[in-house]
Amino acid sequence: MKTWDSNWSKSNWRMYDNYWAGAKKACAELGMSLPDKSQLISIYEEREKNPSLGIPSGFFWSAFEYDARDAARVNLYNGHVLSDHKNGNSSKVMCVGD
């Protein structure tokens, strides 16, 4: 089982603009995965505490699927969790590792 590394800011992270399926694929190709909602909220909280980390704002895909059509995304500007069509390209990707 993968666990969230609370020291994530010390490791490498990447961003890609993509659809949800492409986002999952991009992370898998890096040996990483899409973060779940709680991981993205933790990233938002860390961004708020320490702006010097350079974590960008905007909407980021999460691994959480509401159904076959929609997945969750988290706004790292305000921490809000929203639903979006998986084929939408309005969200960015931040991959996380073990």
From first CA to last CA, the distance across the chain in angstroms is: 9
The tokens describing 52, both together, are 């010097």
- Going from the N-terminus, what domains does the chain have, and what CATH number goes with each? 15-94 (3.10.100.10)
pLDDT in tens, 24-75: 988 999 999 999 999 999 999 999 999 888 888 999 999 999 999 999 999 9
More confident residue, 12 or 40: 40
List beta partners, residue 96: 33
Residues 89-96: what's their mean pLDDT?
A: 84
Residue 22 confidence class, pLDDT cut points 50, 70, 90: confident
Indicate if the pLDDT at residue 19 is higher than 60: yes
Residue 18 confidence class, pLDDT cut points 50, 70, 90: low
Cα 26 to Cα 20, 30, 47, 80, distances in angstroms = 10, 7, 23, 24
Long-range interactions of 3-6: CB distance < 8 A, separation 24+: 3/98, 4/35, 4/38, 4/39, 4/42, 4/96, 5/96, 5/97, 5/98, 6/42
Output the pLDDT for position 26: 87
What is the model's pTM? 0.78
